[in-house]
Amino acid sequence: MTMRRTLLAALAGLVLAAPALAQDFPSRPLKLVVPFGPGTTTDIVSRVFADALGKQLGQTVVVENKSGAGGNIGADLVAKAPADGYTIVMGTVGTHAINPGLYRKMPYDAQKDFAPIGFAGYTPTLLVVGAGSPHKTLKDLQSAAKASGNVSFASAGNGTSGHLAGELLKARLGGEMVHVPYKEGGLALSDVMSGQVQFMFYHPAAVLPQIKAGKLRALGVSSAKRTNSAPDVPSISEQGFGEFDLVAWFMLYAPAATPAPVLAKLRDAVNRWSPIPT
């Protein structure tokens, strides 16, 4: 009887502790895991997001980069983190939509292991080549791919939006193109600028400074229409290569078992400010 009373008291304590936990949340800094490297678009979005979220919650939101495996490493870290709302992740179209269908074995279940908190924004990608590249147009890339097959494209990893955009372009242009996945987008971009890889699709926030500096040249945008961030760059569709519409999105997630009252506080904080422009 004593043991039973002890167990019942312990269970009652747990039941009472959940509302108390939510009421006090957040009582310390939060960690926002970015599943890609510093300087990537996901990183840029996350840092703007963390600053705004921290102001709404009255606590610091610390950004931590955990890159690799197309974002799977960082996402998995949060999937298995304590479900208390203090460790969250900036999920992407890659980590939560593309990778589950691309990788034969996933370390997490994108649907069951996460609870969505709020939408952070979306963006198209720009097809860029190095400033010294002989390819001035998409037709130049097409001719090179069909003539020699010696055309390669970089990405921030298998399953990223840049990877899929490259594969779609390969299908639209014809010819042979080799995908070169990198651990981080910044490393891939460096090799495109140096000419080691012919091109890549990457987000405007990351490539526009390099375009303005004369280190990269944009040949097209992956969305169906031109983007406001680069209005002079034509869409791939309007250049006569068929239907082409691919954008990347960003979404904040917590571990699936995070208490509903804690999720409500996080969602309310997100809803009290507008998503960043893309």
Q: What is the fold, at CATH topology level, of the domain defined by 126-245?
A: D-Maltodextrin-Binding Protein; domain 2 (3.40.190)
pLDDT of 275 above 60: no
pLDDT of 111 above 50: yes
- Tell me the pLDDT of the chain averaged across its residues: 89
Question: Of the given ranges (4-8, 103-107, 203-207, 235-239), which has the lowest mean pLDDT?
Answer: 4-8
What kind and span of H or E run contains 254?
A: strand 247-255
Question: Mean pLDDT across the stretch 69-84?
Answer: 95
- To 10 degrees, what angle do helices 260-271 and 2-24 make? 0
Q: Decide which of 265 and 274 is more confident.
A: 265
Question: Mean pLDDT across the stretch 58-63?
Answer: 97
Dump pLDDT digits (tens) for 22-41. 678 999 999 999 999 888 88
DSSP bridge partners of 152: 178
Q: What predicted TM-score, i.e. pTM, was given to this entire model?
A: 0.77
Report pLDDT for 68.
Answer: 87
Scored b (16 or more CB within 10 A) or e, 4-22 reads eeeeeeeeeeeeeeeeeeb
Distances (CA, A) of 54 to 31, 36, 75, 78, 93: 10, 21, 21, 19, 24
pLDDT of 234 above 90: yes
**Domain with residues 15-123+249-271, CATH architecture:** 3-Layer(aba) Sandwich (3.40)
pLDDT of 235 above 90: yes
pLDDT of 243 above 60: yes
| Phi then psi dihedrals of residue 139, to 5 deg | -65, -30
Q: Do domains 15-123+249-271 and 126-245 have the same CATH topology?
A: yes
HEC sequence for 144-160: HHHHCCCCEEEECCCCC
pLDDT of 8 above 70: no
Q: What CA dihedral angle connects 190, 36, 64 and 229, to 10 degrees?
A: 70
What's the start-to-end Cα distance of the chain, in Å? 63
pLDDT of 185 above 90: no
Question: Mean pLDDT across the stretch 238-252?
Answer: 92
d(CA 211, CA 214) in angstroms, rounded, equals 5
The domains of the chain are located at 15-123+249-271, 126-245
Task: Answer yes or no: are the C-beta atoms of 37 and 67 closer than 8 Å.
Answer: yes
pLDDT band at 203 (very low <50, low <70, confident <90, very high): confident
Report pLDDT for 140.
Answer: 94
pLDDT of 145 above 50: yes
